[in-house]
Each structure stands twice: as structure tokens, then as C-alpha cells.
Structure 1
């Protein structure tokens, strides 16, 4: 309850701070005059010593008005406050104009640019020097007394200036940290979005390379069995192939579901160069004539090895789909500081099955995969057939 009341009072004060401060300074001036407080800078005064303290209000009241204008026109208010203080300095020597000058000076320095603050500091130093010179030149003045007056004024103005600069720099630093925090949050959000996008692309490639491949194999084997006269042996072989492809697709889907639910594990076992033989065997069972030549290769990064196998898998799947019964030659060689994968096909005929005609994503995904590794990829017709050609670097940056 007490904290809520204090917060309420603080909020009300901040909302009406300027008029409240003006009234407080005016009240301080009245109390000072009532107590007979005047002649703060008597060594500089040009008035008789017996001037009434109430004359200090002649400069204090107009000065209080500047407290109301300091935020809208800080520099104009500072100039007028300096003039009023100068008049008070050489006359009544009241307290109000000094307080107003320090208040307006603080506001002006707080909102000023660093270059302008330097000029204000120079002007304040010049003002202190002028006060010292005038105090020394006064008939009743002396060097020690003039120095004391100058030091007092310099200490007041210098402390006020330093405080305003310190608070302003603190605000600037806080604003800089806020901007950097916002920039860091924006970068983190972009990184998160990019990570999500990369994960989506990885899942899409995995779905296409593994799950979609197995499902398509099931459709192709079923289509092949339906395109020839019924034969128990052929039909059972086709059913076994469909079953095996279905089990492989189920296993791949389960691994992907585990990754999605738990956030760990692998999407599927990483393909190895040794798996190319099994891929060729599956293609032969689908009706292709496949010759495989894999050279003795040096150790390579897993990403390069996986890309090489994916290229062979996709090329053979396309041959089964678009060139059934064709002769396919698969070559994997080490060339220079990289790996060369080439799949050539000749002859064959396209299966009549529009329901699972591909959308051309396979080759574009392969091109993206090879490009990401820094390699080169091409696929297109050649005399008498089709060629898929890829050159992969032996090292990944």
C-alpha cells in the first residue's frame, strides 16, 4: 500500500514537475528574503549594503518562469537565465536566480550534442574567469577573495555540468544497449527462422530421398506386375518387393517422427558408398540392366559420401520410372581432389502411370545439395539416352 502511494505521488510529481519546481524555487526565494538572506556575491554588488532582501524577488520571480520554458526552448531559457543571474550577481545576490541558472543549465547540457556541450563548458570557464577578473578589480576586492568567489561559482557550475553530462551519457548508453539488444533479438529471430527453414528443407529432402522413393518403388513394382499377364511367381515377387519397400518407408518415417518429437537422433542411417551395390540390385529387380563401377576412393566427409549415394539413388529411380528396361551404367571415380559420379542410361520405355508422375523435384534437390557442397551438377539428354553428372569436392568448408 505504501509503495503504491509512493509510486502514485512520484507519478503525479513527474507529470507536473516544471510548475512544481518553479513554485518551490519561488518559495525558497521568499523564505530566503524573509530570513534576510541576500548579498551572496557582495564583493561584486554595485548596490548599497542596506538594500532590503525583498529586492531579491525582483530577479528570482522572473527567473522562475524559465523553469516552465526550459524543455521547450532550453537554449533561449539558458541565455535569459544567464542574463538574469548576471543582473542579480551585481545587485541583490539572491539565491533564486542561481538555482534557476543551474536548473536550466542542467537541462540544456542534458539535451545537447557532445560538440555543443564542449562550447558550453568553454563558455562556463570564460564566465568564471570574468567573475574572477571583475572581483579583483573591485575596490574592496582582493586576489584571495576573488579566487574564492570564482572557485565557488566554478564548483557549482562545474558540478552541475558534470552531473548533466553523466546522466545524459548514461541515457545514451542505455539507449545503445537497448538498440543492440533489439538488433541481437532480430538476428536471433532471423537465425531461428533460417534454422527452421534449413530443418524443413532437410526434412523435405529426406522425405523425397527415402520415404517418397520407397513409396514410388511400391507403385512401380505394382504397375510392372499389373502390366503383364498374371503369373503367380512374378506376382509374389512383386508383392515381396512392395512389402520390403513398405517396411523401409515405415522405418524411415518412424525415425523422422522420433526426431520431430524428441529433437534428437538421425533422420535415417547415413548412406555409404558401399550401399550403391544394394541400390543397383533393387534397380535390377525393377527391370533395369545395371553395371556399377566404383573406384577405390580415399576417405571423404560424410556429407560428400551421402550426396554421391543420393545422386545414384535418384538417377536409378528416374530410370525405373522413365526408362523401364533400360541399360544403366553407374561410375563413381576419384578425380583430382574430388569425387566424380556419373549415371548413363540407354533405351527403355516410360511406364504408363500418370498418377505418380514426378514433379521434377528430385533433380532440383540434387542440384541444391551438390551446390551447397561446392560441387557441380548437370542432368540432361545425350545421344541415345540420359546422363546425370556430378563432381563433388573431397572436402567441405
Structure 2
């Protein structure tokens, strides 16, 4: 529409002329309409647009010689050089130069040399200038696309290198875990099983002798309450076997490329009760009473939240068994609509009743790593973690974690 309006203004101001005679208005408007129609598909079908424009301008120049169609034609040449195929761009570069030279030579040979050169310069501005401008912008665009593709390729290579380094490190970690920790856990499980097997064999032998009255007292003991040492050994074996199983799962996970959402055997919220039951023998030996407050049915939450909650309770129980004084330990889990709250509070008093004043990091060698791990787990899922002396209950230590459920569903 802009081209058409501009051409109409030019015709109104000057009017088309043919060999000194006026022509009809509709004859002047038709070429403009054809060229304006060609501009509609100048970027989608550049060869067709240039062909239509070339024929129309040639006919127009031999009849009326209006300036409007020539200006529209320059835009078609520019678009063809910018959007057209490579062969069309090269053809326009050579063709416009050849037409300009041929026109200039012909005019110089047939007429005034000065007028011919001037006309040649005008033809060059109208033909060569738009084509080479389009070629220049096309080259810049192709160079920018090439640089963009090169940058994307470099990013892909960097990502592949990062994944390779990450997988190599994970493989090394898996190897170290298997060679060191897993072997130690296997040794603990084997030795505890061996001791229990020897004890069972000894009990069977004593039971046989007890029939003759030689070991009657021990036989009664074997039929009565279980030996606490044997019970502790059984707990050691069970926990070592379970730890070895989880360690092997972790080794498999580290050696693979699977993400956190893959289907592997993760701890679940409904296994918290079994976790507390496993810790009861050790708690009884430390004069600790474990009291749980769990909901009747845990809500369905994401696997990430389940793993985080389970590990926090597991680590908190481990710290209780290592550091807490004799007394009552309360493990609570409250499941709401938007968050899951976990709290473990335990006695933090010495036998003489004085509150322990040493920092947590100085209680045992390497202490504090468990608290840091729990805090990191909670932070990774967008939760809040807090551990320290309970201000509302002096002499007690509280571990509390609030895990959001909505954003991790």
C-alpha cells in the first residue's frame, strides 16, 4: 500500500509521458498494481517476483518511463538478493553489472558520451546498489547464523564433557563405596552371623546336656528371656545387611545415568515405623524410650520428599543414640495439605542434670556432618531445617524439618 500510494503521488505531481504525448491514467496505474502484487511474495517466491518485476519494468520503460515502478523494482531486487537461493543471488550480481555496462556502452556509442556515463551511473544506482546491499546483509546474516551454530555446538560439546566428567566421578565414587564401605559392612554381617551361628550351636549342645541335669540352669535361661548380647548381635547383623543392600543400590545408581525419578527401591514414609523399631534395641541399651507420633496413613507425596523425610529421621535417630542422655525420645510426623513436619526431640542433659554446654561439632570426632546433611536435604526440596536446644523445654535437643508438598508433587 505504501508503494502504491507513493507512485500515485509521483504520477499526480509529474504525470507520465511517452514521446512527448500523454497516456491514459489507467495505463500508468496497471504496472504499479502488478509490481505491488509482486512485492507480496518477494520473500517467499523471490525468482517469480523478480521475473514479474523485470518484465513489467521493461515494458514500462519502453512506453512511459515512469519513476514509480522503477523504485518498486529496486525493492524486489533487494529482497531477491536477501531471501533468494544462492544461484539467484549470484545471477543478480552478475546480471545487474552486465546490464549496467551494456546500457552505458550502448548510450556512449550511440549518443553523447557525458550523457551516456550519467545514465550508466543512474542505472547502476537503481540496479547494482539494491542487489549488493542485499548481498551484504545476507552475508552478515549467514555469518551470524554460523557463529550462533558454532556457539551452540561448543555448548553441546561442553555439556558432553561435563557429563563425561560427572559420570567418571560418579563411577569413581561408586568404586570407592563398594571397595571400602560395602566390604566393611559385609565383614560386619559375616562376623555377626558367625557369632550367632556358634551361639545357636552352643545352645543346642547345652540343651542336650541339660536333659541329663548338667546344664539345667543354662537350659532354663535359654528357654527364658533372650540374652541382650545376642539380641544386640542380631540387630547388628540386620542393620549391616540392610546397609549393605542400600549401599549396593547406591553403587548401581552412581554407575548409571538415571535421574532421581527412576524406579528404584527408595525409603518410604510408611517405613518410618520399621526404622524406629530397628533402633529400639540400641535405645533400650542406652536407657532411651522411643515414643512415636505418626499419622494413621501417610499422604501420597513425591519420592523426593519420602527419601528426604526418611533420611532426616534416620540421621536424627543415629544422633540420638550417639549423644542423648537417658530419657524419653519423641519422634513426631505431622502431614498437612501443603507441608510435612518432622520433629525429633531428646534429652540433652548429663547424668548430673546439667545441660550440655559443648557445641554439637565437638561432641564426637566428625560431628556436625549429619546436621549439615539433614539441612542440605531439606534445602534441596525447598524446606526449612532447624536443630538445637529446645527453648520451650530446657535440657532437651530438638531436630525439626518442614518439607513443602505442593511444589514437589
Using the size of structure 2 for normalisation, the TM-score is: 0.47
Using the size of structure 1 for normalisation, the TM-score is: 0.49
